[in-house]
């Protein structure tokens, strides 16, 4: 079963995390739920994939090399083609977002690891 959105298009989710295990588990769970999933190991790679392939949702880790999840969300907000895509931020319990940071980067939800 494939999850589809308006017009019966498959829902594509981009997952970005520098921890291979987390990336594999999240991608597998989403694929098993019927979503199309593309993956990236950091925010910079994720941004390039979004610009070339697009997505309906981004699930990203906060702490990543090259470009953090916040950096990715801010870059998305600044790009009219990507600004509408909701972002779900994954973060280890020790890493908290500063007050207002989620709103300023258009982050729809923050989920703490382990989940």
Q: Which domains does the chain have, with CATH numbers?
A: 15-113 (3.40.50.2300)
CB–CB of 39/19 below 8 Å? no
Query: 34's torsion region: left (phi>0), alpha (psi -120 to 50) or beta?
Result: left
Q: Which of 97, 113, 5 is nearest to 13 (CA)?
A: 5
Which pTM value belongs to this model? 0.85
With 0-12 / 13-18 / 19 or more C-beta atoms within 10 angstroms meaning exposed / middle / buried, residue 52 is exposed
d(CA 110, CA 28): 20
- pLDDT tens across 47-77, in order? 999 999 999 999 999 889 999 999 999 999 9
Give the single-character DSSP code of 6. G
- pLDDT tens across 71-113, in order? 999 999 999 999 999 999 888 755 555 556 555 667 777 777 7
């Amino acid at each position: 079963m494939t999850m589809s959105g308006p017009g019966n298009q498959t829902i594509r989710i981009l997952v970005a995390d520098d921890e291979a295990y987390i990336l594999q588990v999240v991608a597998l769970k989403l694929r098993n739920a019927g979503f199309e999933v593309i993956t990236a190991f950091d925010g910079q790679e994720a941004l390039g994939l979004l610009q070339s392939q697009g997505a309906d949702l981004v699930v990203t880790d906060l702490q990543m090399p090259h470009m953090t999840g916040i950096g990715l969300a801010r870059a998305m907000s600044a790009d009219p083609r990507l600004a509408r895509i909701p972002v779900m931020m994954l973060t280890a319990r020790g890493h908290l977002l500063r007050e207002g940071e989620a709103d300023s980067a258009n982050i729809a939800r923050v989920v703490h690891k382990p989940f």
